[in-house]
Chains A and B, each alone.
Chain A
Amino acid sequence: MVNEEIVYHGRIKVPYSWSVGEYGSRFFYELKENKKIWATKCPKCKKVFTPPRKTCPDCFVPIGEWVEVGPNGTLITFTIVRYSAQIHPIPPPFAIGIIQLDRAETGLVHLIGGVEVEGIRSGMRVKPAFKEDRGGSLLDISYFEPVE
């Protein structure tokens, strides 16, 4: 036996191009062009979903109705990330939260900013901070920040 431990370093890079779908396209178009957040509403249970859903997971029926939600919402929960990782959109410390937009009944995961991280509280009212240059992605909103 030898004592040397030989390690092979692989580096897998696999590009993907994910379609956001018909409803996702409308959602991101509205974000990009009109700075508005749209959701869909189940015809049966009336639940309002954001991000928009094409089918209701509870009723298992197609959803056709669109409703505008937010732009303000309530912070349901949050975390302040203190470690570094390449997956992060911005360097730590930064906050991630789940926001329930007004009139929506599901939460949206997004960054919480525009405030010292120590000042963030659950239940806080927040509003989106839109970027000037928008390309049609969730990060067209830089973060949600406290409503004064």
Chain B
Amino acid sequence: MERVAIIGVGQTKYERNKKGETFADLVFEVVTKALDDAGIAIEDIDNVVTVSNDFWDGRTISSMAVTDACGSYGKSVSTVEGDGTFGALYGLMRLLSGSFRSTLVVSHCKGSEGSNHFITNAIFNPIYERIIGLDSISSSALQARRYTEKYGITEEQCALVSVKNHKNALNNPFAQIAMDISAEDVMNSRMLSEPIKLFDSSPISDGACAIILADERMAKRVATSPVWVKGIGHSADAYNLGDRDLAEPAALIRAAQKAYNMAGIKEPYKEIDVAEIYDAFTYQELLWSEGLGFCERGKGGKLIESGETTMGGKLPINPSGGVLSAHPVLVAGLARIAEITIQLREEGNGRQVDGAKTGLAHGINGACGQAHCVWVLEN
């Protein structure tokens, strides 16, 4: 593969209710930040990918409503409706076509303005699954129980993810929910949909994120510390929940293997220095860790108990605080890429993983991780 680098990132602070700002305001803010970060101007961008969802925005062809704010007039602009990691994947492919030198990928979401229950209920087949009242919380609860019962993962092991990530968030100025809590606090928090409790869950968030990808020539010309794409993989599983064994992250295993093969990684737990993974609920960090090969199948609970995924451990996971600490839907995966970029540039300030050379960013699409996208990045 031609070498492609991330040369700039920009994020808003993630908040519950950004009343003072419209979608376009958020997009303009992060695009401006990413351009400044890259040390380039909007004229240097020749390709733009916007990432948004019509249900969340409450308008059809929502991506086209932010063209002004992302400076895409007169440029090649196209759209991804899905997680930001998939938007970045499409941006990467456009760059690899050889037709462009640089690509801006920008994603926005204001979860506070719509209705999470209505919108995530609409993920499901209206005839067979939507009618039962499933949404993101109750469907994930079905997965949480299946996974934890099949592999003997305990409630406390899940709670430890919440403790770790919310504590990490204290050092991330972009995070929304940062707090020092105990496993008991998590286990005693309000039950939403058994076994998922309030502190097992990610919040409703508003925010935006942008990244700028560049080909090798441009990256070497403009960037002082480019972060290189070493491997990428993506894969999807069945749409109907009942068609999958929800305890088995089959699509993630395939996506990770592709990314590792491309990056030449044989032992991910040893070779990866820092990971940002899509922990919309606590059990997901454990299940996805297994799918990513950080531990054996069913050993996600033991992995969190080992303490090796906390700051200072062998493989810190979610130093940003993860999705548990801010969950702007669609933006969240792009924010994982932005955080790994920050880590590999050693700009993590209070949350820097010392000497991070190789990082992994992960995003999901669809209910219960129907599709996964894995990025391996290197400085």
A residues 63-110 in Cβ contact with B at 8 Å:
76-83, 85-90, 96-98, 100, 106-110
Q: Nearest chain B CB to A28's CB is how many angstroms away?
A: 9
Determine which of A7, A80, A122 lies in contact with B193 in the assembled complex, contact meaning CB atoms within 8 Å. Answer: A80
A57→B118 contact, CB < 8 A: no
Determine which of A77, A90, A96, A109 lies in contact with B146 in the assembled complex, contact meaning CB atoms within 8 Å. Answer: A77
Contact with A along B190-205 (1 / 0, CB 8 A): 1111111000000000
Q: Nearest chain A CB to B52's CB is how many angstroms away?
A: 16
Bound CA–CA A80/B230 (angstroms): 43
Bound CA–CA A88/B133 (angstroms): 5
Known: A18-B126, A24-B127, A89-B131. A5 touches B117 (CB 8 A): no
Minimal Cβ-Cβ distance residue in A for B135: A87
Determine which of A49, A51, A78, A137 lies in contact with B142 in the assembled complex, contact meaning CB atoms within 8 Å. Answer: A78
Determine which of B126, B134, B144 lies in contact with A96 in the assembled complex, contact meaning CB atoms within 8 Å. Answer: B134
- Interface presence of A20 (CB below 8 A): yes
Bound CA–CA A81/B145 (angstroms): 13
Kindly specify which of B61-69, B235-243, B295-303, B308-316 makes contact with the partner chain.
B235-243
Which one of B117, B131, B132, B238 has the highest number of Cβ atoms from chain A below 10 Å of its Cβ?
A: B132
Minimal Cβ-Cβ distance residue in B for A28: B127
Bound CA–CA A4/B39 (angstroms): 36
A residues 122-148 in Cβ contact with B at 8 Å:
122, 137-139
Minimal Cβ-Cβ distance residue in B for A11: B58
For A16, list chain B residues within 8 Å (CB): 126
Q: Nearest chain B CB to A22's CB is how many angstroms away?
A: 13
Minimal Cβ-Cβ distance residue in B for A100: B242
Bound CA–CA A71/B191 (angstroms): 32
- Interface presence of A119 (CB below 8 A): no
B145→A106 contact, CB < 8 A: no
B117→A85 contact, CB < 8 A: yes
For A76, list chain B residues within 8 Å (CB): 146
- Interface presence of B128 (CB below 8 A): yes
Q: Nearest chain B CB to A26's CB is how many angstroms away?
A: 13
Bound CA–CA A139/B191 (angstroms): 26
Given contacts A77-B146, A79-B138, A97-B142, 20 further A-B contacts (CB under 8 A): A10-B58, A12-B58, A20-B127, A24-B127, A77-B149, A78-B142, A79-B144, A81-B193, A82-B191, A85-B117, A85-B121, A86-B117, A87-B121, A87-B130, A89-B133, A96-B132, A96-B133, A98-B142, A108-B128, A109-B132
